[in-house]
């Protein structure tokens, strides 16, 4: 039994005892819009919690929050089943007979207040949701009920970005006066993630929050980019805010191709946060943002730690921010293979780093779209080299070295040789020479060894004992 079949079965049993069941929320809205939505929510009218629970127990294994929140589910299904809940903060409870008008009035936006009878398919639209869908408008349903949940401020901006709808002036106005500081960081992250991963133009979310005056509390580092000038020789699109929003939208076009989409999108949002703290303007008007990729790291970290505790995510974004300038610089300089290999090796996700750099070049005027081919060629070479055999600790032991604190340094040196494209044999030979010449690790020279050590080290070679 799938979610839809379960909803219909529940509706039949509810109708049999005098109630009605409606599809509500996003699943109705998206059906009208012609958008696929696998999340089905139903609302039960005209029966008590006790009666509903008995019905659900005949359909499947009842789960969920029960009377605490008035929301149920059934094991194995993603179906949300809601009772009619009164939303007064001083007297939360249930009123199964409040009717469809009062139930819809408690919804956030008119486009989400539509209700569809599960059995008959009849649409109920008390607040003009169909017309607002036609005109692509986000409009709150009721002043009093809207104010009861500050999260609706962010949801207005999020729906605007995801659906490409504008927000009604009266909704913008009411959102300006709502205090959103009490929203949990987890909810902020959920809304941010939705817009970054589901919107074709995530910039709309931040632009709408800017219209509402609601960037200060949770996104002050992003707001700080507003009005920060950029070098006109490379950026004629506007200030650092405009550039960041353009890069964010370019990143949305590529997020399905990268290894870590959420981290990638947050990196696009955060990559230039350092510009707000290190931009200088000379007397002739020339703008510089030297070392902004480094100076911005504490700023990025502060922002991320405000909304998430996910260590992997924070590490990824900090790494991408620090390195985001390098790919395009190396591409234009046609840097040597060893240098690009070292860059990719230092990246947590080298492919994602390339895509971020490309988006950085496309998210500006004039666009810079001449680096991707070179970078992808070097990325493929990097992967080819990294797939070859390489020196590990056991090879050093087999060569007669005893495990010691110096092993880490020797293996690090061997890794540099690997990145330079040397074969495993050459990596080993030069690493052993490095161990003797620089680290002064004693070994017996091999009579047949050739002088392959780098020029700044002794050319003495290490004998590999015959026993091995």
Confidence label for 306 from pLDDT (cuts 50, 70 and 90)? very high
Residues 382-432 have pLDDT tens digits of 999 999 999 999 999 999 898 888 999 999 999 999 999 999 999 999 999
Cα separation, 417 vs 248, whole angstroms: 37
CB 48, CB 155: distance < 8 Å: no
Give the span between the Cα atoms of 312 and 322, in whole angstroms.
16
22-49 per-position pLDDT tens digit: 999 999 999 999 998 888 999 999 999 8
Which residue carries 């680290």 as its tokens? Answer: 439
Residue 449 banded pLDDT, cuts 50, 70, 90: very low
What CATH number is given for 228-386 in this structure? 1.10.3210
> pLDDT category, 64, cuts 50, 70, 90?
low
Q: Output phi, psi for 457, to 5 deg.
A: -120, 165
Mean pLDDT of the chain: 91
pLDDT for residue 284: 86
| Average confidence (pLDDT) over 179-189 | 97
CA–CA separation, 76 vs 425, rounded Å? 56
Strand (E) or helix (H) holding 287: strand 287-288
For residues 453 and 460, give the distance between their C-alpha atoms in angstroms, rounded to a whole number: 7
- 375 pLDDT tier (thresholds 50, 70, 90): very high
What are the tens digits of pLDDT across the range 237-247?
999 999 999 99
Contact 13, 5 (CB under 8 A): no
Worst-scoring range by mean pLDDT, 73-77, 151-155, 318-322, 438-442? 438-442
pLDDT of 402 reads 87
CATH of segment(s) 3-134? 3.30.460.10
- Outline where DSSP puts E strands in 51-92: 62-66, 71-74, 80-83, 85-86
**Domain 149-218 carries which CATH code?**
1.10.110
- Phi, psi for residue 383 in degrees, rounded to 5: -65, -35
Quick check: 459 pLDDT over 60? no
Outline where 324-466 has alpha helix (H): 326-333, 337-346, 350-362, 372-386, 393-398, 406-419, 424-437
- How sure is the predictor about 200, in pLDDT bands with cuts at 50, 70 and 90? very high
Q: Which residues of the chain form CATH 3.30.460.10?
A: 3-134
pLDDT of amino acid 95: 87
Residue 303: how many other CB atoms lie within 10 Å? 22
Q: Is the dihedral of CA 262, 263, 268, 270 positive or negative?
A: positive
Q: Residue 445: what pLDDT?
A: 45
pTM: 0.89
């Amino acid at each position: 039994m799938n979610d839809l079949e379960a909803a219909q079965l529940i509706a039949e049993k509810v109708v049999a005892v005098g109630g009605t069941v409606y599809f509500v929320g996003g699943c109705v809205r998206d059906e009208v819009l012609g958008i696929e939505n696998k999340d089905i929510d139903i609302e039960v009218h005209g029966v008590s919690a006790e009666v509903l629970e008995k019905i659900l127990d005949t359909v499947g294994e009842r789960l969920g929050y029960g009377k605490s929140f008035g929301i149920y589910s059934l094991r194995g299904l993603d179906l949300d089943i809601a009772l009619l809940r009164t939303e007064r903060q001083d007297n939360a409870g249930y009123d199964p007979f409040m009717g469809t008008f009062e139930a819809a009035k408690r919804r956030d936006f008119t486009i989400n207040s539509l209700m569809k009878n599960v059995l008959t398919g009849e649409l109920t639209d008390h607040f003009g949701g169909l017309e607002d869908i036609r005109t692509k408008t986000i409009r709150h349903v009721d002043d009093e009920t809207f104010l009861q949940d500050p999260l609706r401020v962010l949801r207005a901006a999020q729906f605007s970005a995801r659906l490409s709808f504008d927000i009604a002036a009266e909704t913008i106005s009411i959102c300006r006066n709502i205090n959103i500081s009490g929203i949990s960081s987890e909810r902020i992250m959920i809304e941010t993630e939705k817009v970054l991963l589901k919107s074709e133009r995530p910039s709309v979310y931040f632009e709408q929050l800017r219209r509402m005056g609601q960037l200060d509390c949770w996104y002050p580092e992003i707001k700080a980019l507003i009005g920060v000038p950029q070098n006109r020789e490379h950026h004629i699109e506007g200030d650092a805010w405009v550039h960041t929003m353009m890069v964010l939208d370019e990143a949305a076009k590529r997020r399905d191709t990268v290894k870590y989409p959420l981290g990638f999108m947050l990196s696009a949002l955060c990559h230039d946060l350092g510009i707000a703290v290190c931009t200088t303007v000379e007397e002739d008007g020339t703008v510089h943002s030297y070392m902004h990729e480094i100076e911005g790291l504490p700023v990025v970290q502060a922002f991320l730690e405000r909304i998430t505790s996910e260590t992997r995510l924070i590490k990824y974004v900090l790494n991408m921010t620090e390195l985001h300038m390098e790919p395009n610089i190396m591409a234009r300089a046609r840097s040597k293979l060893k240098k690009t290999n070292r860059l990719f090796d230092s990246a947590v996700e080298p492919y994602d780093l390339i895509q971020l750099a490309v988006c950085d070049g496309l998210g500006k005027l004039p666009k810079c779209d001449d680096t991707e081919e070179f970078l992808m060629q070097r990325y493929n070479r990097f992967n080819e080299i990294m797939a070859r055999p390489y020196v590990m600790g056991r090879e050093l032991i087999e060569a007669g070295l005893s495990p010691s604190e110096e092993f880490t340094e020797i293996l690090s040196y061997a890794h540099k040789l690997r990145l330079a494209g040397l074969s495993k044999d050459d990596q080993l030979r030069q690493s052993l020479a490095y161990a003797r010449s620089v680290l002064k690790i004693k070994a017996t020279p091999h009579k047949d060894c050739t002088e392959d050590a780098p020029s700044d080290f002794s050319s003495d070679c290490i004998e590999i004992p015959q026993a091995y």
